[in-house]
Structures are given as C-alpha cells and as structure tokens.
Structure 1
C-alpha cells in the first residue's frame, strides 16, 4: 500500500498558537509496510530539545511544550515506503500581544475637539495589527474611557469634549491576541477653553473669503455592536458655510428618528441610535455650497451582541 498522509482539514491552513501555549498535533497516514516518517524545517532536522516527535504505524505526533515565536514557520512531513513517498507542509504561527504604538502626539486642539497622531508599534506580536483603541481621561475624575474601539488609521479626531476640562489621551495596539499590555500616552494634555470671538470687519473683498467645501478630517471605518448607539465624525471647512447631507449606501438620510445629525464649529457628527444588522453599510457625508461640493465615505459594520 502506497504511503498517504491524511492531513486534517484545520491543519491545511496556518495553525496559530499563542506564546507559551502547547502545540500538540496528530497527523494520521497510511501505507504498508509501516512507513518511515521524517520531519524537517527549512530542509533541516528539527531541534529535538524543543520539539518532540512520536510515530506509530498509523500517525505521527508533533509536540512543543511551550511555544515561542521562533517556532513559527513551515514544517515538512515526509512518509517513505520502499522509494515511494508522500509529503505535507504544516505552517505554524506563534503570536503574542503587540507592543504599544509609538510617537503618540497631541497635534491640535480647537473648539471641543482634539486631533491625535501616532505610528505603528515596533513589535506587532508576529501578527497583523487589527486596529487601535483610543481612550481619554479628564483630570477631575482620573478615569479612562474608550472613545474609539478599533481605529484602523494612525490618526483620529476626538470630539464632544467638555469646556473647562483638561484631558489626557492614550492608545493601545490590537492584534489577533488582543490589546497591547501597555499603552502609548500623549506627552501633552488638552485644556478645553471657552473661545472668545470679537467681530472685526474684514478689509478684504468678500469674494476673497469664498471657499468651496473641503474636508479636513475624513470619516473612519467603524465596527459597532448591535443595539449600542454609535457616532460618525468628520470635519469640514468652506465659506459660505456648507450644507451637510448624510447618505447611506448613496441614499440620502432624511427625517428619521434613528439618526441625529449635528454640525458644530465645522465638526459634523451622525449618531446612529441602537443600530441593527441592516444599519451597516457605506455612509457618506456630503458638503455643498455655491462654490462646489465634497464628500467623504466610511464603512460601518454592525456585529452581533457579545
């Protein structure tokens, strides 16, 4: 009987484990007389100090007591019988939580808003970064609150801050294992003060002030949980003040109690109240004035309750 490896379905894709977890894999095969079994990694024999292999007449067991990231890679399994052979590849990825983001900066404070920027972590934990969790803390309470659950960009605008409060900000990285063990903390703080405006007649012709709409902060893709209200934010400028139109999947959102649209000092917000599965889709914010129009899009995904 010719040798044949029966690779389990779940091992045909990358096998992912966390650092410190055990790796215990059994791969059955067939063939008579009993096949000779060989394991290699990158064409080289395995490190028997880390990896234990046990073979029977019908299967081979691959075991690592405590996986480390260095155990990641492609392992080659070969079974031989009298010159005939069958081969299979086992791809292992050992992951851990990422490091914190780098270079978190408070780049602007205006009105009730703050703009933050940062760079990706030096160590991604051997797994793709899924997003970032952004939190704020006001000096009065000292408590941290999440304002963005999974931001996919390395910048964001935080709105609806309270006049008279001083805020600190921090950002966690997130990969398949979860959040980074520590956060990046912005070195500066933001004090939200009441702006005093004094009217002064412009000395330049009014036409020089005219400006078509332009978005200074785009919408960002969001993921929310069914039944929990969420907000979309963007910033726009233009003169005369643009008219703001919200659309969902290219259809204008008109008077609907599910949605509350506001604009304050150029910051546009759309509250989606208690979203359900059908509230997911592509949302568009369009700004229009006599000189032109501009728009930004984002995708909202609504997940089931956790």
Structure 2
C-alpha cells in the first residue's frame, strides 16, 4: 500500500516537472533603451514573459521595492503591466523586473526618464550697445527639466509698443549680438531656455535697455579702460551621469566658454582618450560632445572633459553605467 502511494506521488512530481517552463522575459524593443515621458503623462509599460507554472513577479526601482501607492502593478500568466496615472520627475530611475519559477528566474531592467519644460535662464544682461546693435549675455537655467538644454530663444521689445518679437531661435551660445535696431527707439530683451519638451514658460528680461540714438545728436562716448577679454575656461553646462545599454551608441554633452578658445580633452578614469575609433569627439561653438559607439560593459566608468587655455583650465565629470541586456536561458540555447 505504501508503494502504491509513493508511486502515485512520483508520477505527480514527474508530471509537474514536465509542465514546468523556465521563466523568460521578452522585453519589447521600444523599452530596451531609455523610456522618456513628460511630467503629467500616463506611463503604461507592458512586458511579456514566459514561464510555467505562473511565475512570481517583482518590481524594483533603483534597487528598492516600488511604491504601490504611486505605481499600479498588474500581473497575468504571461505579462506584467506597470501603470502610472500621472508621471512626476521623482518617478525617473532604473526599474528592474524579476520573474521566478521555483529556483529559476529571469531579470530585465529599463530606464524611465520623466522630463518637463526647463526653467528660465538664471540671468540676462545687456553688455553693450553701439550703432544699431546690442550685445547680450545670459546664464543657463538651474533646472533643465531633467533633460539636456538644446538652445535658447532671444526676443526684443520696443519700449514704445511693448510688443515682443523673436530675433533668435534654437540658438546654442550664451551670448549674442542683436542687429538692425531702429534709430531713436529703446529696447529691452529677454531670453528663454529650450529642451526637447519646449521653451521655458517665462523669459529672463535684461534690467538695462538699449537706446539707439538719432542721427545729428552729438554723442560723447564714455571713456573706458581697455578691457581684458581673456578668460579662463568655465563650463556653463556640466556633464550628467548617464546609463547606457550594451551595443547602443550613447553621447555625453557639456558646454564651455573661455578666451582664447580652450583646447578640449576627454578622459576615461583619468586616462586621456586618444584617437580610438570607438569615440567621436566634437567641439563646436562651445558645445563639447563625446559619442561612444556601441559601448560594451567595460566602457562604463568616470568620464571627464577638460578645457584649458593660457588663462587656466577647468574640468567636469560624470559617471557612465553600461548595462548588459539579460538574455534568458531558453533564448541562449537558441
């Protein structure tokens, strides 16, 4: 009698083993790189998986269990859905999904970046005015909207009408000369910051106005001491820490000013990057970029941009983390 009972138990175990299937996450292609959403938008991430019996599903955000008050997680036999009704900046991070059947498990990670409009430039000032021209300078906003600043919009306003007109759009530098101003008028200027979402809600207005004098008025220019325009390098936009995926090209960006024009060097872990074809280095009008082509896991580390001229030097650094796409055991056997 005991043998019959044990025999039935063995057959049951064998049947359970036959119906078992190792878990495997089938990450959609669109989620394998950085997922970008705007503040206020819904986030609805559907990730299919395989596994029998029904796998145990867990989600982590930056290594910690997700807050079920902020995130709605729904799991079925073959997929998991993470839903955020109204996205906030704080929802940005690296999310890891784990599916587990008995002692077997599979994991996959994705990066979620929640972005919004940038803040206004910190300051804007009228540097000089002459003839029919005005020279302006401004500084980047403190808040970039959680994404890179892509340019600036500059507007002018005739004090007689008070109407604003754009004179420069998608402009990348932090200084500009506005020309073709009308004789006898006075002008104020304002600057908006731009990112991939759009332009800042408010512009930063210059405190001073530029007055274009009429012909015939005797103008005695003030006496100025010759100004030394040389300037040590100064980074106006720093590098941001980034996460990349193995095999997917990524780019690091920063901006610098200085006179004379600084020489730019890129370093990885304090070692100068030479003419390695894996890297593409571009420096144009103060915008410095380093493109890392199809990075491997060994390309992670601390990257530094160094700018130097006769007046001095400056550096900015960031950490690049290169994540490996985890392939399930079943897919490896294929």
Tell me the alpha carbon deviations over residues 49-103 of structure 1, each in whole angstroms, 9 at most, x when there is no partner: 1011010000000011111100000000011112111111121111110110012
For the aligned residue pairs, the C-alpha RMSD in angstroms reads: 1.7
Bigger proportion of residues as helix = 2
Within-5 A mapping of 1:44-193: 44-193=64-213
Deviation at residue 145 of structure 1 after TM alignment:
0.8
**1:20 paired to 2:62:** no
Give distance in 2, aligned partners of 1:75 and 1:168: 47
The CA deviation at 1:141 is 2.3
User: Which residue does 2:55 correspond to in 1?
Assistant: 35
Q: TM-score normalised to the size of structure 2? A: 0.58
Q: Number of aligned pairs?
A: 199
* Mapped contact 1:111–1:195 kept (Cα < 8 A): no
Are 1:98 and 1:174, in contact at CA under 8 Å, matched by a contact in 2?
Answer: yes
* Runs of at least 5 residues in structure 2 that lack an aligned partner in the other structure: 1-20, 219-283, 285-334
Shift of 1:196: 6.4
| Structure-1-length-normalised TM-score | 0.63
Report the secondary structure of 1:102's partner residue. Answer: coil
Q: CA deviation at 1:197?
A: 10
Structure 1 residue matching 2:201: 3-state secondary structure? coil
Structure 1 CA distance for aligned equivalents of residues 215 and 67 of structure 2: 67
In 2, the alpha carbon distance for the partners of 1:36 and 1:64 equals: 21
